[in-house]
Structure 1
C-alpha cells in the first residue's frame, strides 16, 4: 500500500539562484494512509510551504512529491485529490452556507439537486444541517470553520490539508474544535495533514508529527516520542519547553557529558535531591505552580502540582527526579 503523501528529497527555494532562500531544504517525509499527521514548527520553519507543495500551490525546486504512489510534482492543484481548509475560512460572503459547501461540486458540473443533497449530507456530518440557508456573516467563528470543513470534505478528497484552521478561535472553542476534528478524522478514515505552531494542538490531536526548523525536519515521531525523547535542543525547547541541560550539568546529575532534556513536571521538591539552587520566581498556572531556580549558572523550571508546599523567592531548595526522566539527546 503506497503512502498517502511522500516527499523524496524535496526542496523549495525562493529568490535568485546565487543566494536562494531555502524555505524547504531536502525534506524526506512519509505520511501513512488514514493518519492524522501534524507539521509543527515556528513561523518560517517550512511547514506551511510543505503544505502548499502537497496542494500544488507551490512547485518543488528539487525532489519528488507523491500522493498514493503517483508523482504529482508537476500536477496542477485541481487535478490532485486533495483539499485545503484555510485559517481564514475563505468562504464566499454573498452565498449561503449550502451554496458555499456545494461550490466545488458546481464547478465540477454536478446537477443542482445532487450537489445540494451532498452538501446537506456534509452539513449534517459537521452538525450544521439546520444552517444551510444562512450567510457566513450570521455564523460564529466555530460554525464558519465547520462550513469550511464541509466544503473541503464534500469533494471526497483522499488527503485533507488543514492550514492552522483553529488559529482564529478563542481558547475554549479551539479546544472543542480539536476534539471535533479528531473525532471527524477517525470517523471518515481519510488522511489529515495539519499545520500548526501550537505544540498542544499537535500533541493532543496527531497520531504522528514532524517538527520543522529552518526548512528541515528536526524530528519525526509519535507525540509521546517527540515530547519525552527529543533528539535536539531545539525540539526539547520548542515542544513542551523542557529544561535543556548542558553537558557539564548532565554529568553532575549522573549522566554522560552530553546535552540532556529534563521536563519541568518530572521535578519535585526533595531535601536530598541532586539539583540545588535559588528560587528566582513563582508563577501560578491553575493546575499548579511553575518554580524557577538558578543552579550552577543554569535556569531550571519545575512544575509543582496544586496543593504542594511552595518555597519563597530567594530560598535555597533541592529538587529530585526519577533517573529515567533525564533524557540524553542524540544531537545538539
Structure 2
C-alpha cells in the first residue's frame, strides 16, 4: 500500500522542549488516520509538521514519496480544517469556500460553481449567500470542511475540528465525516484527545505520549492489546493490574490489562469467582452501572448491565472473567 505520509526519525524542538522526539510514522493512502493523545503529547505538532506550519528540527517528512521537509505550506498537497474554523466573517459562505480558488486566480464564475459543488457535498445547498454568523456551529464546521476540500488536497488534516460542538452534534458530525472520507477516498489525518472519537472514526490509530508514539495499530488492536500501561489507561477505560495481582490470577508476574466489560460480578464465595474485593464506588451510566472494587490493594472496575441488582458500597463481591481477556503488557 502506498504511503500518503511518512515520518523518518522526525523531531521538533522548541529550545530544550522536545515537542516531537524521534517519531517514525507511516500513514497509508486512503486511510482515516487518527493521532490520539493528551495535551502536550506532540500530536498537533506532528499535524503542523505535515501541513508545513512547522519545520522538523531533525528527520524527514514525505508526502506521497516527495520530501516536503523544507517545502512551504501552499506548495504541499494538503489542506487543514482547524478547530476554530477560521472563516472570514465579512465574506459569505460561497466566497469563504471559494477563497483558495480566488487566490489561485480562478475566475469568479468557475470558482463559485466549484464552491456550490462543495457545499452540496457537505449538505449545505442554498447556504451560499449567508454569512458565517448566521450559521450554527455544525454548519460552520461544514463550511470549513468544504473550503479545505475545494482545493482538491491529497491529504486532509483535521485539527480537533469537532471540539467546539455539543455532544449530540459532535456524534452526528463524526458519522458524516467518516461517510465523507469513505466517499471521497481521501487520506484523512485527524488529531483528537477524545479516545471515543478516535476509536469510532479511525481505521488506523497512533497513540502519542511525551512527544513519542506509544503504539500504532487498528482501533481494535490498540483497545484489545495495549502495549503499555499508558495506552491501556488512555485508550478506553481499562483495569491495569500489577504483576503480583496478575500472577495471583494465574498469569506471569507482569503488568496486565483487563477491560471492565470483560468482568462480571458473582456472589462472594462463588466457585466461579477468581478474585474478591469490597465495593468502593458506583457510577450510573444509563445502560450499565460502573462498579469499583478494591481487591489486594488494586481498584478494579466492572460494568453491571442495567436491570441487575446493584450492590451497596461496602459490600463484598467476587469477580470472574475469561482468562483470554487478561492481556499481558510488555511495557511498564
2:63 to 43, 60, 67: 67
1:316 to 2:316 alignment:
yes
Partner of 1:14: 14
Structure 2 unaligned blocks of 5 or more? none
1:89 to 82, 85, 88: 85
Partner of 2:287: 287
Partner of 1:134: 130
Secondary structure at the counterpart of residue 64 of structure 1 = strand
2: CA distance, partners of 1:175 / 1:26: 34
Partner of 2:151: 155
1:38 to 2:34 alignment:
yes
1: CA distance, partners of 2:166 / 2:280: 32
1: CA distance, partners of 2:239 / 2:304: 15
Secondary structure at the counterpart of residue 79 of structure 2 = strand
**Aligned residue pair count:** 328
Tell me by how many angstroms 1:2 deviates: 3.6
2: CA distance, partners of 1:119 / 1:50: 29
Secondary structure at the counterpart of residue 300 of structure 1 = strand
Partner of 1:266: 262
Partner of 1:3: 3
1:243 to 2:213 alignment:
no
Secondary structure at the counterpart of residue 119 of structure 2 = helix
Secondary structure at the counterpart of residue 26 of structure 1 = strand
1:26 to 22, 25, 31: 22
Partner of 1:328: 328
1:44-63 equivalences under 5 Å are 44-63=40-59
Structure 1 unaligned blocks of 5 or more? none
2: CA distance, partners of 1:288 / 1:307: 8
2: CA distance, partners of 1:102 / 1:154: 7
1:191 to 166, 180, 187: 187
1: CA distance, partners of 2:231 / 2:100: 39
Tell me by how many angstroms 1:195 deviates: 0.0
In the TM superposition, what whole-angstrom CA distance separates every residue of 1:116-145 from its partner, at most 9, and x where no partner exists?
A: 000000000000011000000000000000
Secondary structure at the counterpart of residue 4 of structure 1 = strand
1:301 to 2:297 alignment:
no
TM-score (norm. length: structure 2):
0.98
1: CA distance, partners of 2:156 / 2:273: 49
2: CA distance, partners of 1:119 / 1:275: 62
Tell me by how many angstroms 1:107 deviates: 0.3
Q: Deviation above 2 Å: which 4+ runs of structure 1?
A: none
2: CA distance, partners of 1:234 / 1:54: 26
1:218 to 2:214 alignment:
yes
2: CA distance, partners of 1:281 / 1:201: 27
Secondary structure at the counterpart of residue 3 of structure 2 = coil
Tell me by how many angstroms 1:96 deviates: 0.2
Tell me by how many angstroms 1:269 deviates: 1.2
Q: Indicate the larger mover: 307-316 or 151-160.
A: 307-316
